[in-house]
Structure 1
Amino acid sequence: MREAFGVEEVTEELVRSKVAEMTRDEAVEFFVSIGVPVAPVYHIDEVVRDRHLWERGMFIEVEHPKAGRIWTTNFPVKFSKYSPPHPTAAPLLGQNNREILIDLLGYSEEQLEELRREGVIGGEG
């Protein structure tokens, strides 16, 4: 790496100043050329346009109870002997109130209704 920068000691400040002059893609190309493991960080609109990610099945269409069919991200890792469950749409606001408050935390039905009346919780659940 010293040769690529033309110095005896490569400092963080030197790397920062060199990279500041480059685009993201130029920086990736530069570091790849000198053997530094690197990968670009994409903005979300670049991610959804990446053909490779679509071909790997990184996006999946799911049913949302209010929005209908929507696209979301799939599980990012592929295994040879395991298929993770398919993702689902996020729950609606408050959809899991009963399960969390009564089943997991032991609240009573009366306590749940009181929280709802007082406006502490709301939503679908």
Structure 2
Amino acid sequence: MTHLIQVVCFVQLASIALSVLPDPVNVIIDSNNFDHILRWDPGAGTPMGMNYSVEWCCGEENKWSQVRCLNEKDGRECNLTETFNDTLGEYMARVKAITETQQSGWTETKWFQPVSQSEPVFLN
């Protein structure tokens, strides 16, 4: 009986230690007049005040690099305008939620090309 209690306790502790945060959702690149803003929403059940990690890659290299997000809005957007500086390049970004002890999986955007996917600004 003691062995069974130890196993149950171990399984419960292991599940707590291995718990992961919900993945971010609705991850998109919103681009207007060649200003590229990565936006996302927290996954269902994500704790308030979450921190996020953002990475990007471009077509041929296929190597992910971390982005330092400046001017974040509520920690749920990242300006990638300077990162996506080749208007003919093809890019992808990804986001994950992080704490000191937990992290979510990555959620990736679709491929993005500034020259063909940035909406123009219309003047009145």
Give the TM-score of the pair, scaled to structure 2: 0.23
Please state which structure has a larger fraction of its residues in strand. 2
Structure having greater relative contact order (Cα 8 Å, sep ≥ 6): 2
Rg larger for: 1
